Amino acid sequence: MIEQRISGPEASLFALLDGDSAILMATAQDHKRAYDNDEGPNTGGMGAISPAPRLDKALEEQVMQEVVGPVVRGMAAEGTPYRGVLYVGLMLTEDGPQVIEFNCRFGDPEAQVILPRLRTDLVSAMLATTNASLHHFDMRWDPRAAVTVVMASKGYPGSYEKGSIIRAIDAAETVPDCNVFHAGTALADNGNLIAVGGRVLAVTALGDDAESARRNAYAGVAKIDWQGGFYRSDIAKT
């Protein structure tokens, strides 16, 4: 096996494919390392920002033409047309964008910053994807930025304890344009909200620019009372 070593910042581009054509959805940038300054072990993702700061319009068009388009045509030519979401994981190298991976799903936590920006009905987009009508479908997006901060159980991605109590979720959602997405949570018999997973909450907020979205997201995080959790303090920091 021969491998090529590449280096550069990572970003993700999401498109919808209907077997014949494709349309761009949005872009995002994930933060994989567990701790600030991209230190510590790799995780499933400790936060994200959309749009991806380093994927400008020119790069978006390049990826759609040089990566997504050939995928549509190639799979159709092989008799296996693909209909669904295409997640293109990219590394932005000195020689241009290089594909690291494809996924046929929304990412996590990328979905938490992409979908809040979507203004088109998602079901309508899915129907257009399944009935090969994306060529005349238009997706509308909120021009604002979105940032999500993942709150994880202490010890993640290693071993961690379950059952710690989480309070004040409602207070976090009083922050303007802030929503808290649940992943590893459950209701205990006594009615307490408890943590039962590694990555437990994703606190997402919109803002007029990346910095205001980041500020709103961390304002939401600050209102949550969870002694058993931790989070990075530098998500989307420039």
Name the CATH architecture for the domain at 10-136.
2-Layer Sandwich (3.30)
Q: Where are the domains of the chain?
A: 10-136, 145-230
Q: Helices in the chain by DSSP H: which ranges?
A: 57-63, 69-77, 110-114, 122-130, 169-172, 210-223
At position 155, the amino acid (one-letter code) is: G
pLDDT, residue 197, reads 96
First-to-last alpha carbon distance for the chain, in angstroms, is: 38
Inter-residue contact 230 to 181 (CB < 8 Å):
no
- The pLDDT value given to residue 238: 77
Which CATH superfamily, name and number, covers 145-230? Phosphoribosylglycinamide synthetase, C-terminal domain (3.90.600.10)
Single-letter residue type at 235: I
Task: Compute CA distances 218 → 87, 114, 225, 234, whole Å.
Answer: 27, 18, 13, 10
**The pTM of the whole model exceeds 0.95:** no
| pLDDT (tens place) for every residue of the chain, 238 residues total | 667 788 888 899 999 999 999 999 999 999 999 999 999 999 999 999 999 999 999 999 999 999 999 999 999 999 999 999 999 999 998 888 999 999 999 989 999 999 999 999 999 999 999 999 999 899 999 999 999 999 999 999 999 999 999 999 999 999 999 999 999 999 999 999 999 999 999 999 999 999 999 999 999 999 999 999 999 999 999 7
pLDDT for the residue 235: 97
Distance CA 157, CA 41 (A): 7
Question: What pLDDT does residue 1 have?
Answer: 63
Q: How many other C-beta atoms are found inside a 10 Å radius of the C-beta of residue 79?
A: 6
Per-residue pLDDT at 44: 93
Distance CA 195, CA 156 (A): 12
Calpha distance 224→234 (Å, rounded): 18
